[in-house]
Amino acid sequence: MPNIDTILSLLKKYYPDPIIALKSKNSLELLVATILSAQCTDTRVNIVTETLFKKYRKAKDYAKADLKAFEQDIRSTGFYHNKAKNIVGAANKILKDFRGRVPETMEDLLELPGVARKTANVVLYNAYNKNEGIAVDTHVTRVAQRLGLTKNSVPEKIEQDLMSQLDKKEWGPFSLRLIWHGRQTCHAQKPKCLECFLKGFCSYYG
């Protein structure tokens, strides 16, 4: 595997202050937006949540939502049957077991319907500034594989590979930096290899 320190320093240079693309004002909105983002672009999610977050403001609003109506509210994000069921289920769990507040630990977040490690990591870092792991989405997977930072394709194993090479304080921002690089340069189709500042480390380019 290449030395991740050089890659990290370059990523910090080009993406000094990475922020999550999903728009939210609190941990509940971020949780909902992240669940909606599965198999959907962040741009589409932000369009949907602009209206959604005005209609549903607290966990109890989601918990008592009419499932069919809620499905229509989020329909354009795709897989809306499962997403609606998970969001309503998560809200009920938050009310019942966590006093109406989105939990702040990996263990508790993973108890919520529709929440796996990626979503939990997103919420923990971006809402609570906690580095419990590395959020692995399609961008992180693609860029990490092309840079030779992992040979795995399973998100949990990719996460472990990356965590083992980085200081814990870098986990959250590293994920955001790879996501931005995947969006702007290292596209799945027709990546901008010639203008990529990481091409010297890249197996795809080589």
Distance CA 162, CA 57 (A): 36
* Nearest alpha carbon to residue 147 among 41, 15, 5, 39: 5
CA-closest candidate to residue 112, choices 21, 35, 20? 35
Q: What are the distances in angstroms from CA 26 to CA 10, 54, 178?
A: 31, 13, 24
> Pick the catalytic residue: 96, 118, 151, 168?
118
Among residues 118, 124, 85, 83, which one has the least CA distance to residue 102? 124
Q: Residue 183 is which amino acid?
A: R
Residue 17 appears among annotated catalytic residues: no
Are 136 and 159 within 8 A, CB to CB? Answer: yes
DSSP state of 79: -
The catalytic residue among 42, 73, 137, 161 is: 137
Concerning whether 137 is annotated as a catalytic residue, the answer is yes
Q: How far apart are CA 179 and CA 141, in angstroms?
A: 9
Which bin fits 129, alpha (ψ -120 to 50), beta or left (φ > 0)? Answer: left
Active site residues: 118, 137
